[in-house]
Structure 1
């Protein structure tokens, strides 16, 4: 082969690689099914003609026309909508050539998502007026994998007004979500006007500040995102009350607005539990006629009284008229069923309906309400507790309890549609750490033990956000973004590797800035929370590209006037360094703390007969802290290779202990990273090194210790409070990459 031919082939290969990389780095979220890079560019401007001859792409055409109004000048070119009935619902083809954009779809939804892709390609210019859009020539074939791509918002615990919800809908549409699950009622507030029962909003929508508000106000002293907006207070009978509600006219308008953005709104009126906002006003709804907190949850309504069904049917009749969605969400979760015991009406119902237990009373209520929903032309969705006592074959199950891993398979075996919302991946009210985004991105909606034939019942999934400790729009956005972007790519279904997604995220941050979203900045890395040094050290902060970091060396909270991080910080004394990313608008992200203490090496211990493994102990009891673990509660011991929990039938709440010796392969400073849900404590040399104790979502704590080569006493204590657990221990030596502990790291004697 000639040198010229080799050079030509090499050049062609480089061109293909460049095109492939360019396609991957476009920053479109969620990732399209396929992207082909063409030659040239298209300039979208005020002179671009919009051609929709069949007039079936109304919402897409309206969206692009509104965007066109904000552009000036430019070339005379056109954007053409065409129809191909063979394409699946929501699928589209997008071809961008220098003289014309062609959007092909079978319906208005597919065309609308194509327009969102154009906006994504425009980047920050999509949110600026007058600017033209310079779009690369491309050919995209795209369709979602899942038909249910949702985000849930609880507006009961803390209220979000109708103006904000319009912006919320815009953001869902931009990232191609198509369902908004609106949690409208709960113990803390009733948020939707019901004309049959005006008291529900006149009184049930308002409350005094509670313990959750107090927690937010305490946090607000150092973080303004926790402030409770004054606009949600009003004086009632001389008392300052918190709350708010939506009129039926506001609901209708928002439903219409969302439909124009490709989004279906699904209302949730949670019952029979989580109903204290109603039972306070109508105590006759409960079994005892009183309103109180039972063992775990508030008193539910009584499904053994006909008056309960009359009340519920009046409510759902009005709700059904407001929401064109085919679905209504009944909730039916976390029901304190013990309140139905020893109640004459319930005993009579059980006898009449041949019900064996109170779980079947719950099932009776759900199935009866489902029949009523069907009479209204609606289908029922319930949280996965609707499995308890038996599920009807037509109900849709929303899976959230990760500690009930068999629930999805149980539902699929019965042929019930499933929406995946497992808390471990999908609960965005969980506090974030450096692992959170990757955790969401690893979510597989068709996992959870489902075989290929059972996976067909999975409609998709959604992110859920509960607002007990989310009192403001700023805090809500901080908890949603950027995790919502990872979820959009998971549910659209054409995921790549997390590194590629992370690179695309770097492009998205400027877009989030343009949308004025209070997103969470990426974590600062390169250090533990508690660090040690021998004589001196350097703190080398790993920050996202183009991030501006300010820091202090006296332990005070950094401000934008604090020194800017430009090079590694020299450490030669015990001190505390705090650092934070600052946005272009001066907004400060999370504060990261690095404590430094001068130390010497810890000597290893001598072992006569070391053997691989760790001693394991199991305690099937609920503990709030590891120091409460009692040996009297221990029911199992074993030897494990590393950090494993060799118990097949784990209790709902339990504790564990791993004991042995950690082997330090050489003298050095070892960094340990302990991530858990719930509490955990790591001890080295019989002293606490990492304290991650307490009841909490999965978070990581870290610390360093200087170890001499050899064996060092090791103990790891862990608590699982209920709801699914995480327990991960990693370490690094010096500047090496961190890795998970393994069997080679541990011995017992």
Structure 2
């Protein structure tokens, strides 16, 4: 009997080995998969059919393989056919069920699945790859065709209707009547003078403006084709950088007369902004082949409304090259933004080389197929099976020093963010890899020095983004060793770059319920009679320790809003309140949550009123990764509403509750915010500035980054720099609306006729979004318009895609049937297509 069993086991093992070998050499390319979405949003769910087809000449195996993809909340309806499970984060695994069966050559099979609502292209599953179960570290890209078969035409036409009505409010203002400096200066007067810029112009500058002189000389040289001469004291036609006392640090004066352009400032920063305004004055059509360039005569006195004018870019979810960041810094400088919030660490990646801890980038900067995240991280956001996509990459020490120097030359501060204690999976896994490496070398003490998790912690949780292992244990001394080492390495890079470092951002957002509850390390800290009674008390404990560590290094702490809050209980219900103890320590926070109906609509004001320094990063107006509108083809999330160029423009920093709108852009019911706290005069002194934020889950290319950023960033630049507009101060609703529409038209015309044409060439050119046309059917005819005056609309009536060779829209279209409309900018780049069925 024993021999029979042994023989059976031998044959079974032989068969499995042969089968494994067969599967390993199988041509995965023979498997074609189509994901057909039949219903995108019924009761908050979507319905899809996955079709598996074998195009090869041999059967495709029934088992032994797994398909991985990134998505949100899908499951198979019949688990005997297929099983879909969440691996971690947004990574899902589809395995064949017991009744899936082998696919014969030429055969196919359907699997029905359900998932969350799919409102636009960013909700579709992506990043498909297939792995043999016995070789899980190797994945093969799987070309899956995803088809949204549901009808989007009706929804998109309704969007086009809304756009048409919005565009009707925009007046076409002649270019000569527009303010010729952007953002709008505090005081601006045009004169009858004109300065003729040509190769004979000389530059004279105060010695303290050396960097600014180089900036100006480089620009004028590019413009005229000849390097300008320099003079200690200007004689004849010249551009003069003059230092005068009594102006604020970022203030400048600009005067253009017939023979002299004078920029006056008390600091290099003020002089630099004067130069940017001079650049703004010069027509965007100017080029170095022009014999002369006319600069209009002006008298300008200008300074910013807010000292903190920031743009945050997430380079962790998807990597963006050093070259692209330098280009964005040029853009920020042109429009006088002065803070680059460098979000380099997340659950999905760590992007900055830390010389003392090489695993952070060796492990934490790469995403590819893996069963355990020991050598690299799970694929996320469509990064796929290998490390060649935007899911992988990092900035070397030399890269970062170059970025710091480049920013400093443009008077932009770079604030690094070390995400903690949540959103930290990349750092946790990197330090796990370090731990295992040193344990194998027999160095247990050194191995534990930077460990970020308690190995005995049995706590269970799931973050908003789907992770169950992404929170640093803040009871461990090794956590603080890690933070100190990272901070010290970052400080050294700033010192080497000779760039300012005043504060470090430590995250603090979205730590899920359940963390630390079953951690022996945490429980050892808790005492019923002490300050730390429950895991909730660890929040203040952590940020107090981090703040103390930073203060010892002459740095201050910065974080997301939760870092400045403390959890209390009112009638047994947990409530987050401003942490007045941390307020005394001069921390600064980004407040993002002002979502209507959340109860946090006034959170920024409550925190400012309690003495906490607040940067307004309102999701409703400044999350630039949100989709422009409800059209299916518009990429981006929508959980915080939709953000077009108008959202940051109409934001009222000191009274944003006045015109807060719902997620669809409609005025909210006043009852929703009844009783919310208004900003006090003391609170106003604690609103330090505004920040736009780009999160990169759906941004995998430079073109997409620029598409989501522009033109939205113009609204941020205007609101952060320019004085409070009259329409925002007017209490009479009707008068306020009239003033707003006038200001809105002026702003849109400046953007369309001066700034977007400039960005077609500036810093190599930007791939800003060309807006889709608005469209309606009126008395049987199709009428269309476009947001930006001067942009054209082309259309077709035969079902083909409109091009520049298609008819130009000049009036109502009488033809019946399918009308396709497309907007084009001055260089011929087009928008998404709008389809109208005129019956």
TM above 0.5, one fold?
yes
User: Aligned Cα RMSD in Å?
Assistant: 2.8
2:760 and 2:714 map into 1 onto residues whose CA distance is 14
Structure 1 residue aligned with 2:588: 396
Displacement of 1:162 = 0.9
1:183 counterpart (332, 343, 361): 343
Q: Contact conserved, 2:794 with 2:804, CA < 8 A, in 1?
A: yes
Aligned runs of 1:377-392 on 2, under 5 Å?
377-389=554-566, 390=579, 392=582
Structure 1 residue aligned with 2:216: 64
Aligned runs of 1:293-442 on 2, under 5 Å?
294-297=462-465, 298=467, 299-323=470-494, 324-351=500-527, 354-389=531-566, 390=579, 392=582, 393=584, 394-402=586-594, 403=598, 404-433=600-629, 436-442=644-650
Q: TM-score, normalised by structure 2?
A: 0.62
Partner SS, residue 160 of structure 1: coil
Structure 2 residue aligned with 1:45: 198
Structure 2 residue aligned with 1:512: 759
Structure 2 residue aligned with 1:285: 452
Displacement of 1:378 = 1.1
1:48 and 1:337 map into 2 onto residues whose CA distance is 65
Q: Contact conserved, 1:72 with 1:132, CA < 8 A, in 2?
A: no
2:768 and 2:820 map into 1 onto residues whose CA distance is 21
Q: Contact conserved, 2:647 with 2:715, CA < 8 A, in 1?
A: no
Q: TM-score, normalised by structure 1?
A: 0.69
1:203 and 1:128 map into 2 onto residues whose CA distance is 48
**CA gap 1:319/1:130 in 2 versus in 1, 3 angstroms:** farther
Whether 2:424 is the aligned partner of 1:275: answer: yes
Displacement of 1:562 = 4.1
Whether 2:788 is the aligned partner of 1:539: answer: no
Displacement of 1:360 = 2.4
Whether 2:716 is the aligned partner of 1:487: answer: yes
Structure 2 residue aligned with 1:259: 408
Partner SS, residue 57 of structure 1: helix
Unpaired runs of 5+ residues, structure 2, are 1-172, 229-234, 370-377, 433-450, 495-499, 567-578, 630-641, 657-677, 726-742
1:562 and 1:52 map into 2 onto residues whose CA distance is 52
Displacement of 1:43 = 1.8
Q: Contact conserved, 1:287 with 1:340, CA < 8 A, in 2?
A: no
Whether 2:228 is the aligned partner of 1:32: answer: no
Task: State the Cα deviation string for residues 416-460 of structure 1 (Å, max 9, x = none).
Answer: 211110100000001113972222101122235212221011111
**CA gap 1:94/1:205 in 2 versus in 1, 3 angstroms:** same
Displacement of 1:165 = 1.3
1:562 and 1:293 map into 2 onto residues whose CA distance is 56
Q: Contact conserved, 1:337 with 1:359, CA < 8 A, in 2?
A: no
Q: Contact conserved, 1:337 with 1:358, CA < 8 A, in 2?
A: no
1:131 and 1:431 map into 2 onto residues whose CA distance is 44
Q: Contact conserved, 1:72 with 1:131, CA < 8 A, in 2?
A: no
Q: Contact conserved, 1:127 with 1:514, CA < 8 A, in 2?
A: no
Structure 1 residue aligned with 2:136: none
Q: Contact conserved, 1:429 with 1:479, CA < 8 A, in 2?
A: yes
Partner SS, residue 51 of structure 1: strand
1:371 and 1:130 map into 2 onto residues whose CA distance is 58
Whether 2:350 is the aligned partner of 1:104: answer: no
Displacement of 1:518 = 0.8
Displacement of 1:144 = 0.3
Aligned runs of 1:677-716 on 2, under 5 Å?
none
Aligned runs of 1:221-240 on 2, under 5 Å?
234=387
Bigger fraction of residues in strand = 1
1:481 and 1:143 map into 2 onto residues whose CA distance is 24
1:502 counterpart (740, 743, 748): 748
Partner SS, residue 474 of structure 2: coil
- Worse-matched range after superposition: 25-34 or 333-342: 333-342
1:241 and 1:479 map into 2 onto residues whose CA distance is 17
Q: Which has the higher contact order (CA 8 A, sep 6+)?
A: 2
1:399 and 1:49 map into 2 onto residues whose CA distance is 47
Q: Contact conserved, 1:72 with 1:130, CA < 8 A, in 2?
A: no
Unpaired runs of 5+ residues, structure 1, are 1-19, 218-227, 598-749
